[in-house]
Amino acid sequence: MNISKVEALKWFSFLSELPGEKHEISKKYEPIIGSVLRQIELSINNKFDNLIKEIPNIKNMKNRTIYVGDQEKFPKGCISCLFGTGLGGIRKTNKCNLSCKFCYYHDNLDNQDIIQEGMWEIGDSSYYEEDLELLLSIQEKPSGIAYVYLEPFLEIEKYYSVIKKIHTAGIYQHLYTNGSLCTEENLKKLAEAGLDEIRFNLGAVNCSDKVIESMKIAKKYFPSVGIETPMTPEFFEQFLEKKELILNSGIDFINCAELHLGEDNINNYIGEKVYMARRGYISPIWSREITLKLMKMGSEENWDILIHDCSNHTKFSRELNKNSKLKNSFGFNTYRSEFDRDLFHIFLPILKDENFNFISEKSLPLEFELEKCKSDLIELAEYENSKDEFYEDF
């Protein structure tokens, strides 16, 4: 089914005003919702494709992702993620010393699950450090491991011995940090323990001179040092101000993450123009635009770093690879929406934009004209809302 932009705006405006926070829409109308989201996505992807065509010397890694720069500097953590046996996440620190607008945990930073003292979360299960030898001797080792969630340097001294054991097992390891708590001493100890790669979320610290200096120090000890941060207008502006300082720090790569929105950060971006990729991640359209601008600039100016487009497409490819390595059935994929309901209101800004157009338009069939469907939809929404209230009372 196709739809015009005018009708799309009418439909989503109406649907966003229906009573009830989690109203269900009859399957009869699902094709209309899908058509609007797909029309938006097609137009945005066409815009991205045109920007990509402007980037000199762009490289494609087996259709899974794109980048510019020397392939030798492509982070091996990403290689493990996109081509290896997966990227196991190890969690220990459930707190952060910063609060970033784009953080996926923003609204619940103080309410994260505690990982019990002396334990580590691996594969959604809890282990004592002394369990690692047993785990590594029984299960197939992943090609890579990432230390995530939330700021490891808050208790970095607990990481050294675990990193050493996993290094001895021959597994590639990288770690994420905002960099604000890094010192030459703790960076050196991490490297001595066997950490292979460290990634700085430079956007979290507003491109702080102190953290840029820490990146420079890190390069003395680690084979691979880079930036990984969600692409936002604020980061782009700060990066341009500190461009020479950052490029002269000796880093190997920038992973340009396309910001996607979840329950805990979406409230910070209400009013932005967004799209939905493959009915999965919802992202502001400016996020990948910034990535592609950086890639174009880096290629034209011959920056001595690799710039990677860690886009929604890349994350889709990541999930396909992961599920293939897990021997799931052909086509099975865990790439999906962060939300359990349709959020019609967040697509209104882009539908109201006079400069945004659908690639092709077609009028809806008569039976799907909004005026003919309104009473049915209102009745359905009121029924679902009353049902929710009944179960809440019960």
Q: What is the pLDDT of residues 286-334, one digit of tens each?
A: 999 999 999 999 999 999 999 999 999 999 999 999 999 888 899 999 9
pTM of the model: 0.95
Phi, psi of 88 (to 5 degrees): -75, 130
Residue with tokens 């996607």: 260
pLDDT tier, 27 (very low <50, low <70, confident <90, very high otherwise): confident
Phi, psi of 200 (to 5 degrees): -105, 130
User: CA-CA distances (angstroms) from residue 176 to 84, 173, 179, 281?
Assistant: 19, 11, 9, 22
What pLDDT shows up at residue 326? Answer: 84
What pLDDT shows up at residue 1? Answer: 82
Does 100 have pLDDT greater than 50? yes
Does 389 have pLDDT greater than 60? no
What pLDDT shows up at residue 21? Answer: 55
Cα–Cα dist 103/263, whole Å: 11
Does 336 have pLDDT greater than 50? yes
What pLDDT shows up at residue 383? Answer: 67
pLDDT tier, 386 (very low <50, low <70, confident <90, very high otherwise): low
Q: Is 258 helix (H, G, I), strand (E, B) or coil?
A: coil
Query: What domains, with CATH codes, occur in the chain?
Result: 5-46+366-393 (no CATH), 56-325 (3.20.20.70)
Does 390 have pLDDT greater than 80? no
Report long-range pairs for 40-47 (Cβ below 8 Å, ≥24 apart).
Answer: 40/8, 40/275, 40/276, 40/347, 40/350, 40/351, 40/358, 41/275, 41/276, 41/277, 41/278, 42/358, 42/359, 43/356, 43/357, 43/358, 43/359, 44/275, 44/285, 46/359, 47/285, 47/289
Q: What is the pLDDT of residues 226-277, one digit of tens each?
A: 999 999 999 999 999 999 999 999 999 999 999 999 999 999 999 999 999 9
